[in-house]
Amino acid sequence: MVSSNKLKSMDFYRKIPRDLTESSISGAGLSIVAALAMMFLFGMELNEYLTISTSTSVIVDNSSDGDFLRIDFNMSFPALSCEFASVDVSDVLGTNRLNITKTVRKFSIDGNLKTTGSEFHTGSVAHAVKHGDDEEGESVEGAMVLNAHNFDNFAHQYPILVVNFYAPWCYWSNRLKPAWEKAATIIRERYDPELDGRIIMAKVDCTEEGDLCKKNHIQGYPSIRIYRKGSDIRDAHGHHDHESYYGDRDTDSLVKTMETLIAPISVESKKLALENKADNATDTMKRPAPRAGGCRIEGYVRVKKVPGNLVISARSGAHSFDSTLMNMSHIIHDLSFGMKINSKVLNDVKRLAPYLGRSHDRLSGREFINRHDVGANVTIEHYLQIVKTEVVSKRSYEHKLLEEYEYTAHSSLVQTVYIPSAKYHFELSPMQVLITENSKSFSHFITNVCAIIGGVFTVAGILDSILHNTIRLMKKVELGKNF
């Protein structure tokens, strides 16, 4: 059994009797300074231990081959009608998706970017538009010619006014012309404008009546509009001023449509044609016409993570466009890549990397206006280079906190021989930024605290010894003692 004396011999901290020690004012002052220094350094070390540290590295993008990238957008086009606005996506792998509607919403807007009604529904055409190309016989001018002076009079005179807005140079207008004139002649004979007075078919040459066509928001040729008498006094709660016809363009189809329109209207009353509730096949061929000449387009698309294009332009398989009159000026309210990030999550992650979130919507709030200084046929192009950023935490177990896509943008106005458009060329970087949250060891914190206490205590002891011996030396010199 180990004796107590042998055990005491292992004591590293032997005690000196208190009556053999001597206290001093200088030692007390130094002790106070040492204690304050220990507290200050301990606080600094504790703050360092509690502060989150990160490391940033650049690695090869670890996305899998089947991953898709989501593009969210919200843009206003003051001079592009929702009737023909199309969102298209293509990439270098051969993907080519035209006129995406499932995840895209459109709203007609005025010149002040104010929404003029409910959502504009483009609808779908189940088959190619049929034309009366095989019809024979002389083309008889059966449609009434309208201009800016008599248009309003006719619109208020007849319960139903159907107008063909056309351009003589237009291929589709020329294909429609024989059937339109023949149908107008048949309708005029069956429903005499003077005796019956329920319907009249007319036409407007947009090359001569540009202001009238612009007033009616005509951007594609031919555009067939259906005006109902009195619709101009009922524009609240989403009611439209007129409708657009997208059905077949042969004589029989046109005549059938006209007869369907006037069926609910009696000859005697010639009432306002506002309550047409006919449930027939022609309803699928008629849709509310845009109430303004602009369009706000919002929604999202999913694309492969390869270089590609997001294109917004006027598109139709049965209309022509005058490219010299197209203006693709637009205002970007939002354009971002990847899933939307919750603001709370983003704020939490910004504690790790305060610079995050500065470039994920770089173009938001920007305006790109073509004031015709560079001429007509102008396409506005944006070149976007996208970099993926991941934030990973390793505090308890490794998990992903955030995945964000930031981008740089360069824009330009380019003249083109094609229909003007707004193009967004995007390309993802093969590299990604990885931000890792590093955990700190508690044992390292304890070691540093011990080092602080021991170091300050030792340094204070050395300073106290030097100060004490210096004071003693000075006293001996003053007393004249030899040593």
Helix (H, G, I), strand (E, B) or coil at 268: coil
Helix (H, G, I), strand (E, B) or coil at 195: coil
77 Cβ contact list (under 8 Å, min separation 6): 85, 294, 295, 296, 297, 312, 328, 329, 330, 422
Amino acid at 141: E
- Please identify which of the residues 170, 206, 213, 295 carries the catalytic annotation: 170
Helix (H, G, I), strand (E, B) or coil at 287: strand
CB 425 within 8 A of CB 71: no
**How far is residue 124's CA from residue 368's CA, in Å, rounded to a whole number?**
31
**How far is residue 187's CA from residue 343's CA, in Å, rounded to a whole number?**
61
- Is 170 one of the annotated active-site residues of the chain? yes
For strand 308-314 and strand 367-368, is the pairing parallel, antiparallel, or unpaired? unpaired
Amino acid at 424: Y
**How far is residue 192's CA from residue 202's CA, in Å, rounded to a whole number?**
14
Neighbours of 313 (CB within 10 A): 22
Longest dimension (CA), the chain: 145
Q: Which residues are catalytic?
A: 170
